[in-house]
A and B are shown apart, each in its own frame.
Chain A
Amino acid sequence: MNVAFLGATKGMGRALARRMAERGDRLFLLGRKDAELDKTAADLGVRGGGAAPGHALCDLERPETFGPALDAAVDALGGLDAVVVTAGLFATQDALESDRGLTRRLLTVDFAHTVLFCEEAKDRLLAAGGGKLCVFSSVAGERGRKPVILYGASKAGLSAYLEGLDHKHRADGLEVVTVKPGFVKTGMTADLDPPPFAGEPEEVAGRVLAALDRGAPVVYAPIAWGPIMAVIRSLPRFVMRRVGF
């Protein structure tokens, strides 16, 4: 599988890209920092037992980088079978409430710009007859919840967009896979106290790769978060108003 990957340098993206490289998928990395991309490419090359993947600069804060970066991926790989997006911003509700600039940035990156990136990716995949678009949203977007009001809102919007895209284009051969991770122990969450059922990135990667292969439209990871979110979705409003999560 030829994969353009935005976000392979860290966390769940790193774990997923490693699985792909180890099983022989051909990757092209997109990201913000050249030095980091170099190191991650070297890592994936050693793991895959072949050449280090190529990479190009692509920054979710700069939409003008999206098209050229994806074109570089198409050129380098000679065609795309999948585009994976794990990049995004995270901040706690407290941090966001006290910093309007940060809120604006997070909403822009995690919703507006991620959607714009997906539009660019979608066009290129459809032009080649389809493929897979795998995007990391979050369980935070499942329900309006006190600890993740703003971050959750951006992810809710993203999930809705991805669902619509999947409905419209599945018949054209474009499978959209929305990943909804629960709490996963990565650098992004290192400053938070992990709740019960906190998962490891490797566990998420295994589940996502299986979902990607079969084209599942939605995947919760780690597995426990599927049933947990089913319960949370079904809670009446007056209960949600009282609980802290």
Chain B
Amino acid sequence: MPNGSSTISGWGRIPVPGREVLSEDLERLSEGAVLSRGLGRSYGDSALPPPSVREVATTTLADRLLAFDPETGLLRAEAGLSLKELNRLFLPRGWFVPVTPGTQFVTLGGMVAADVHGKGHHVVGCFGEHVTRMKMRVADGRVLWCSDEEHPDLFRATIGGMGLTGHVLEVEFRMRPIPSPWIWQESRRVDDIDAYVDALKDAAEKWPYTVGWIDCLSPGKNMGRGILMAGDWAEPSVAPKRFPHPKPRVTMPVELPSWVLGPLSVRAFNTAFYWKHLPREMTGIVHWESFFYPLDMVRHWNRMYGKRGFTQYQCVLPEEAGRGAARRVLEILTRRGGASFLCVIKDCGPEGKGLMSFPKKGISIALDIAVRDDTQELVDALNERVIEEGGRIYLAKDTFTRPEHFRAMEPRLERFQEVRRKWDPEGKLRSAQSVRLLGDRP
């Protein structure tokens, strides 16, 4: 038995005492568990146990495909199935998930819990929009199905509900057919944040997938300069005939000492990344893994941020806040000089059906922040700005947000808590994050 001193952490590598319990039998595993965990790619404390509990139920061994209808694309699988495996099996057959986040190392259960969004959000919304039903174990021990028709309150609260409404056992959703396993990509260099926001909007009208990486360190006229990428699955006539070989992966072998990622080196990286894209516009066929999952190429890339770990800050700024909102957020970063690698920026479509789903119509900004002495203050400053703009944060990334800030961002919280109280009156289901942000009992 692993001893009592074992620790568990999110992708940001800030540990708490705890351990994962695994079993192929998810129905049994979920009995009495306070929280399910998938592949642990949420950055903060979403998949960590509350302080008085040591164990989380890890679903990854429950990864069976249970049904697939090649006529309709309807697929049902156990919650621990990874997106990596799904892609390996279905891309060669001409199918892809309707929504993918930026990593393949997530489970279906995790995709529901965070209601993940991707480069296609402006067209297809979040993953939850494509989920037709789920089998769940709820707090009183019952196993039941929920959907838009059956227990719709539970269904909608579970989509984006960070695992706090029940244990997802099975997920049914619709895959989408693709014309080839290759991506046709167009990318361009954009001079500053305002031009960037406009360019994103233009691209969104033409392309099903858009995303951009910006330099969030350069102040002044270069602020928010970056690379905008757009793409779509390539038509067979332009795609290579062969199936794309799996991309080789390298491993980050050790933690980097924290001085490596100082302001100078990060600034140099950002500048190099920007100017690597020398021609203003580039087009061509690219590998689906490079397009959707560039960071998956480096195993354990989270070691890059050193011993103290890191967090990711992701917020959405509503359209009503105007295009200056993104600039106002970036100003906080450049003023404080928080060393971050590339910052990812993306436009979002309308809010989806998930009761606590993150995206809403506007612009999403995401950036990594290595943990330093002043990280709490930086996150506070960003959150205060985001509240002013009428935006909100993404729970799957969060470690440092204060409960009062979260409440100020989330008028939906009351309704969510109501549904939780109905399905879990004793407040059994909870996480380190829900203790921190929602005031659940430790």
Interface, chain A (partner B; CB < 8 A): 9-11, 14, 22, 36, 39-40, 42-43, 46-47, 49, 186-187, 190-193
Q: Is the CB of A190 within 8 A of B66?
A: no
Q: How far is the CA of A9 from the CA of B67 in the complex (A)?
A: 16
Q: Mark B60-98, 1 if CB is under 8 A from A, else 0.
A: 010011111000000000100000000001000100000
Q: Is the CB of A40 within 8 A of B64?
A: yes
CB of A138 to closest CB in B, whole Å = 19
Q: Which A residues are in CB contact (< 8 Å) with B65? A: 42-43, 46-47
Q: How far is the CA of A9 from the CA of B62 in the complex (A)?
A: 10
Q: How far is the CA of A14 from the CA of B85 in the complex (A)?
A: 14
Q: How far is the CA of A191 from the CA of B67 in the complex (A)?
A: 31
Q: Is the CB of B24 within 8 A of A9?
A: yes
Answer whether residue B222 sits at the interface, using C-beta atoms and an 8 A cutoff. no
Q: Which A residues are in CB contact (< 8 Å) with B23? A: 187, 190
Q: How far is the CA of A191 from the CA of B6 in the complex (A)?
A: 12
Q: Is the CB of A42 within 8 A of B61?
A: no
Q: Is the CB of B22 within 8 A of A187?
A: yes
Within 8 A of A (CB), among B1-52: 1-2, 21-25
* Residue contacts A-B, CB under 8 angstroms, 9 given: A11-B24, A39-B66, A39-B78, A42-B64, A42-B66, A46-B66, A47-B65, A187-B23, A190-B21
Q: Which B residues are in CB contact (< 8 Å) with A36? A: 25
- Please name the residue on chain A nearest to B81 by beta carbon: A43
CB of A233 to closest CB in B, whole Å = 29
Our pick among B2, B24, B89 for the contact of A14 (Cβ within 8 Å) is B24
Instruction: Using A42-B65, A46-B67, A193-B2 as known contacts, list a sample of 16 further A-B pairs with CB atoms less than 8 Å apart, ordered by residue number in A.
Output: A11-B24, A14-B24, A22-B89, A39-B64, A39-B66, A40-B64, A43-B64, A43-B65, A43-B66, A46-B66, A47-B65, A49-B93, A187-B22, A187-B23, A190-B61, A192-B2
Our pick among A39, A46, A191 for the contact of B1 (Cβ within 8 Å) is A191
Q: Is the CB of A187 within 8 A of B24?
A: yes
CB of B173 to closest CB in A, whole Å = 14
Q: How far is the CA of A42 from the CA of B77 in the complex (A)?
A: 10
Interface centre among B21, B22, B66 (most CB of A within 10 A): B66
Q: Is the CB of B67 within 8 A of A42?
A: yes
Q: Please provide the 8 A-B residue pairs with the shortest distance between their CB atoms, ordered closest to farther.
A: A43-B64, A46-B65, A190-B22, A46-B68, A42-B66, A187-B24, A43-B65, A10-B24
Our pick among A9, A40, A47 for the contact of B89 (Cβ within 8 Å) is A47
- Please name the residue on chain B nearest to A190 by beta carbon: B22
Q: Which A residues are in CB contact (< 8 Å) with B64? A: 39-40, 42-43
CB of B289 to closest CB in A, whole Å = 19
CB of A164 to closest CB in B, whole Å = 33
Q: Which A residues are in CB contact (< 8 Å) with B67? A: 42, 46
Say which size band chain B's interface belongs to: 10 to 19
Q: How far is the CA of A39 from the CA of B26 in the complex (A)?
A: 12
- Please name the residue on chain B nearest to A33 by beta carbon: B25
Interface centre among B61, B67, B89 (most CB of A within 10 A): B61
Q: Which B residues are in CB contact (< 8 Å) with A22? A: 89
- Please name the residue on chain A nearest to B70 by beta carbon: A49
- Please name the residue on chain B nearest to A35 by beta carbon: B27
Q: Which A residues are in CB contact (< 8 Å) with B93? A: 49
Q: Which A residues are in CB contact (< 8 Å) with B24? A: 9-11, 14, 187
Q: Which A residues are in CB contact (< 8 Å) with B2? A: 191-193
Interface centre among B21, B67, B93 (most CB of A within 10 A): B67
- Please name the residue on chain A nearest to B93 by beta carbon: A49
Q: How far is the CA of A36 from the CA of B78 in the complex (A)?
A: 12
CB of B418 to closest CB in A, whole Å = 35
- Please name the residue on chain A nearest to B65 by beta carbon: A46
CB of A8 to closest CB in B, whole Å = 11
Q: How far is the CA of A40 from the CA of B64 in the complex (A)?
A: 7
Q: Which B residues are in CB contact (< 8 Å) with A193? A: 2
- Please name the residue on chain A nearest to B69 by beta carbon: A46
Q: Which B residues are in CB contact (< 8 Å) with A49? A: 93
Q: How far is the CA of A107 from the CA of B120 in the complex (A)?
A: 56
- Please name the residue on chain A nearest to B58 by beta carbon: A190
Interface centre among B22, B64, B66, B67 (most CB of A within 10 A): B64
Within 8 A of A (CB), among B367-382: none
Q: How far is the CA of A40 from the CA of B24 in the complex (A)?
A: 11
Q: How far is the CA of A190 from the CA of B93 in the complex (A)?
A: 33
Q: How far is the CA of A187 from the CA of B64 in the complex (A)?
A: 14
Interface centre among A36, A40, A190 (most CB of B within 10 A): A190
Q: Which B residues are in CB contact (< 8 Å) with A42? A: 64-67
Q: How far is the CA of A42 from the CA of B170 in the complex (A)?
A: 14
Q: How far is the CA of A190 from the CA of B56 in the complex (A)?
A: 13
- Please name the residue on chain A nearest to B61 by beta carbon: A187
- Please name the residue on chain B nearest to A11 by beta carbon: B24
Q: How far is the CA of A190 from the CA of B61 in the complex (A)?
A: 10
Q: How far is the CA of A79 from the CA of B93 in the complex (A)?
A: 30
CB of B231 to closest CB in A, whole Å = 28
Q: How far is the CA of A77 from the CA of B67 in the complex (A)?
A: 22
Q: How far is the CA of A107 from the CA of B4 in the complex (A)?
A: 31
Q: How far is the CA of A14 from the CA of B25 in the complex (A)?
A: 13
Q: Which B residues are in CB contact (< 8 Å) with A11? A: 24
Q: Which B residues are in CB contact (< 8 Å) with A40? A: 64
Q: Which B residues are in CB contact (< 8 Å) with A39? A: 64, 66, 78
Q: Which A residues are in CB contact (< 8 Å) with B21? A: 190
CB of B1 to closest CB in A, whole Å = 6
- Please name the residue on chain A nearest to B76 by beta carbon: A42
CB of B232 to closest CB in A, whole Å = 26
Q: How far is the CA of A11 from the CA of B62 in the complex (A)?
A: 10
CB of A90 to closest CB in B, whole Å = 14
Q: How far is the CA of A62 from the CA of B89 in the complex (A)?
A: 37
Q: Which A residues are in CB contact (< 8 Å) with B22? A: 187, 190
Q: Which B residues are in CB contact (< 8 Å) with A187? A: 22-24, 61
- Please name the residue on chain B nearest to A194 by beta carbon: B2
CB of B37 to closest CB in A, whole Å = 13
CB of B89 to closest CB in A, whole Å = 6
CB of B30 to closest CB in A, whole Å = 14
Q: Mark B109-129, 1 if CB is under 8 A from A, else 0.
A: 000000000000000000000
Q: How far is the CA of A10 from the CA of B64 in the complex (A)?
A: 10
Q: Mark B138-161, 1 if CB is under 8 A from A, else 0.
A: 000000000000000000000000
